[in-house]
Structure 1
Amino acid sequence: MAKGIINEAIANFRFDGVLVDERPYGSGHINDTYLLVFEIAEMGQIKVILQRMNKDIFKEPVELMENILNVTSYLRERIIENGGDPERETLNVIPTVNGKPYFVDSSGEYWRAYKFITDATSYDQVESADDFYQSAVSFGNFQRLLAAYPAETLHETIKGFHDTRARFQVFKKAVEDDVCGRAAYVQEEIRFVLQREDLANFFAELLDKKEIPLRVTHNDTKLNNIMIDNKTGKGICVIDLDTVMPGLAMHDFGDSIRFGASTAAEDEQDLSKVSCDMDLYDIYAKGYIEGCGGKLTEREIDLMPMGAKAMTFECGMRFLTDYLQGDTYFKIHRENHNLDRCRTQFKLVEDMETKWETMQSIIQKYK
């Protein structure tokens, strides 16, 4: 990123003090993120986060920032009502000099800024079972605080993000078109998907019949989107709100299990290492249900195992679709990388199917 463009962005936000340090920050792959440090006379230093939003992924950055501003403002009110600290327990958007929540630079790129959350850390990997539990409580608490928020008023920042039914149709077309001539080599994987059309349609059909509620969901419930307090070890704030939009609580729960309770990396080639760890599943289920504080319906809680299976299946299907289409969406770092990723997810789905009764009984234990 050109220094002049960053300086242009910095000059257009309401930052206090003198800039003394600026550096790239974090491990995210989508937005360009910088940590800025400002010196304020007599008061020491303050830190802020500056981000350039990725317009390739998020086509409507103005709508995205409208979502974030509305949700964080609502969270601030709930946190204050509960006697919490709104400076640390939700993201705080810093306005531009013109009072907007975003700045458009001279090259047409969109920028935003947040107050930095001090004395807290986000972890890329589960280093302890308690970290995983804390992330579950935090994401559950996020759901609890936003339970009364009218989800349908939010914009969809990525259209059809977890519409597994629609993604199944895209998959079938990718098989039919076979633009790279790869379908012949992955007949087993294609069969795996086609045999589970009911799973692809499951949640969409329940939504059609209005048997489950639309919620404000995070849609990227990985551990590294939780800030954990350095002193207490407790999860204090949910971050990365770009994919906050209308969705299903089961999807948020399920994506956490898919990523956090797997015994192997997302692209592990030795499938004998891949399984769904029932101890981690148990820990997360306990924390998430506790965090939700009674705001979910009984049906939503009963469907949590299905959320885990459906999200894992959807992710595997997306990897396979991308492989068939020529690896155009997910970045690959070796030949057949998306195929390896898809096989890992499908092994997890199979493992969940063998442990289905256990997964259901764990949920009932905490209901």
Structure 2
Amino acid sequence: MNTDNEVTLANVAGHFRLEGNLSTIEPYGDGHINRTYLVTTNAKRYILQKMNTNVFPDTKNLMRNIELVTSYLRLKGKETLDIIRTDEGATYYCDSTGSWRVYAFIEHTISYNLVPDAMVFRNAGAAFGGFQNDLAAFDASQLNVTIAHFHDTPSRFHDFRAAVSADSQQRGQTCKAEIDFYRQHADWYPLIVDGLADGSIPLRVTHNDTKLNNILMDATTHKARAIIDLDTIMPGSMLFDFGDSIRFGASAALEDEPDLDKVHFSTKLFEAYARGYLGEVKPSITDRELALLPESAIMMTLECGMRFLADYLCGDTYFATAYPQHNLVRCRTQIKLVQEMEEKLEVSHHIVDNVMEDLR
């Protein structure tokens, strides 16, 4: 990845209220959006990030969202990201090189990039369920939208149809069946946004990036300690977060597996995550949200696959690709998952019903 020079990093770090004398600053992690560095002093460790202002141009409101949510969680006694302020008391620092922030390093934790077993995925469900329940009373309307129409599936479908119509790369002939698949599912797309609009689905704080590696687990107990990567915190539906967790976590294969015979929707992993998640949100989840949990997985998988296909048709301008058909391969894995989720929809509903009965 691109890195910033040592002088720049040391100068930036010097603008924050760090404890001790600076020892080292080195690249850290494998994130694709922000540039992340581990800062070590003779007293503590910190995470320094250069924020991607192309993806998130409104730094002020992004950091306001994070400050509001982390302050609320901390008042409830929850472990969360700890923003280190600048010498002037701000939550971030800007100079000619970019926009920067610092978090205290959360020690003695680990994270996973892939789901190794059902128990880890159940713990992940409990982590994001706990995060959701802890914020159930938080007024989500206070939060700013940092990425417009992020989970507005009808808007995504509008963009998809525009990409199909333009066919700027003349790729439409290679994916007619896939295009037809998303057209045939058009009745699904307003399901959640219409519920938010008419109030039948409550507006809540949503994380919107519920990857497994955004949960810091205790290195000894392997229980969740903190949810990180809060840049996409926005008002929305808990169904966005639950559905997207199932989309990537309950798949038997990677998102870009070319052999579709290896791609399957695992009801075992669905049940593991649902048990962890519902065990935490039981006090706050509504009947309507509960009824739509299995559908939310289909919705988020439809939306993601549609985005992959639209990007393929536009020439791969958004998602990073390793070869020309990469986004098409990703799209096909999502279609296979949707097909199996639809086939197993009744089973998924039975799982949710059984989990809730056990919790009673």
TM-score with structure 2 length normalisation? 0.96
How far apart, CA to CA, are the structure 1 residues paired with 2:318 and 2:285? 34
Seq. identity, %: 47
Choose from 5, 12, 27 the match for 1:9.
12
| Alignment counterpart, residue 184 of structure 1, candidates 149, 163, 173 | 173
User: Residue type matched to 2:318 in 1?
Assistant: Y
Q: Distance in 2 between matches of 1:161 and 1:234?
A: 30
Distance, in Å, in 2 between the alignment partners of 1:4 and 1:179 is 44
CA shift for structure 1 position 28 = 0.9
Distance 2:182 2:117 in 1: 34
Query: 1:79-98, aligned counterparts within 5 Å?
Result: 79=77, 86=78, 89-98=79-88
Distance 1:24 1:291 in 2: 35
Q: Is 1:244 aligned to residue 242 of structure 2?
A: no
1:127 CA drift (Å): 2.1
Counterpart pick for 1:281 among 252, 270, 275: 270
Distance 1:54 1:122 in 2: 23
Give yes or no for contact 1:254–1:307 (8 Å, CA) kept in 2.
Answer: yes
From 291, 303, 308, the equivalent of 2:292 is 303
Q: What is the identity, as a one-letter code, of the residue corresponding to 1:147?
A: A
SS in structure 1 of the partner of residue 40 of structure 2? strand
Gaps of 5+ in 2: none
Task: Find out whether 1:102 has 2:92 as its counterpart.
Answer: yes
| Structure 1 residue 200, shift from structure 2 partner | 1.3
The AA in structure 1 aligned to 2:326 is H
* Distance apart, 1:123 and its partner CA: 1.2
Aligned partners of 1:335, 1:172: CA distance in 2, in Å?
21
The answer to which of 293-302 and 256-265 deviates more is 293-302
User: Match of 2:90, as an amino acid?
Assistant: K
- Any conservation in 2 of the 1:16–1:38 contact (CA below 8 Å)? yes
Query: Alpha-carbon deviations, 1:139-183, whole Å to 9, x = none?
Result: 000011100111111011111110001000111111111111111
Return the alpha-carbon distance in structure 1 between the equivalents of residues 219 and 257 of structure 2: 31
Conserved in 2, the CA contact under 8 Å of 1:13 and 1:97? yes
> How many Å separate the matches in 1 of 2:26 and 2:85?
21
Q: Which residue of 1 aligns with 2:71?
A: 73
CA offsets per residue over residues 44-84 of structure 1, 9 Å max, x none? Answer: xx1111001101111111110000001100000112xxxxx
Instruction: Tell me the secondary structure at the aligned position of residue 221 of structure 1.
Output: coil
Give 1:193's aligned amino acid.
Answer: Y
* Cα distance, 1:2 vs structure 2: 2.2
Q: Which structure 2 residues correspond to residues 14-53 of structure 1 after superposition, within 5 A?
A: 14-40=17-43, 46-53=44-51
In structure 2, which of residues 37, 54, 57 is the aligned counterpart of residue 56 of structure 1? 54
Residue identity opposite 2:32 in structure 1: H
Q: Which amino acid aligns with 1:94?
A: I
User: Which amino acid is the alignment partner of residue 96 of structure 1?
Assistant: T
CA distance in 2: counterparts of 1:248 and 1:22, whole angstroms: 38
Task: Describe the SS at the equivalent of 1:90.
Answer: coil
Tell me the distance in 1 between the aligned counterparts of 2:271 and 2:330: 25
Deviation at 1:7, TM superposition (A): 1.7
User: Do structure 1's residue 217 and structure 2's residue 220 form an aligned pair?
Assistant: no
Q: Does 2:304 align with 1:331?
A: no
Displacement after TM superposition at 1:276 (Å): 0.8
User: What is the identity, as a one-letter code, of the residue corresponding to 2:316?
Assistant: D
The one-letter code sitting in structure 1 at the alignment partner of 2:231 is D
2:162 aligned residue (149, 167, 173): 173
Shift of 1:268: 0.6
Equivalent position to 2:124, from 117, 135, 142: 135
Question: What is the CA–CA distance in structure 2 between the aligned matches of 1:144 and 1:78, rounded to whole Å?
Answer: 11
CA distance, structure 1, for counterparts of residue 165 and residue 116 of structure 2? 43
Q: 2:268 is paired with a residue of what secondary structure? A: helix
Q: Deviations over 1:281-318 (max 9, x none)?
A: 00000100112141110110111111100000000000
Residue among 107, 132, 137 paired with 1:118: 107
Calculate the TM-score normalised by the size of structure 1: 0.94
| Shift in Å, 1:332 | 0.4
- The alpha-carbon deviation at position 118 of structure 1 amounts to 0.8
SS state at 1:22 partner? strand
Deviation of 1:184 (Å): 1.7
- Answer yes or no: is the 8 Å Cα contact 2:9–2:25 preserved in 1: no
Aligned to 2:84, what secondary structure does the other structure show? coil
- CA offsets per residue over residues 219-272 of structure 1, 9 Å max, x none? 011110001001212111101000011011111001110111100010010001
Name segments (4+ residues, structure 1) moved above 4 Å.
Answer: none
Note the C-alpha offset of 1:131: 1.5
SS at match of 2:81: coil
Aligned partners of 2:55, 2:118: CA distance in 1, in Å? 32
1:272 aligns with 2:261: yes
C-alpha distance in 1 between matches for 2:25 and 2:9: 10
SS at match of 2:188: helix
Opposite residue 72 of structure 1, the aligned amino acid is: T
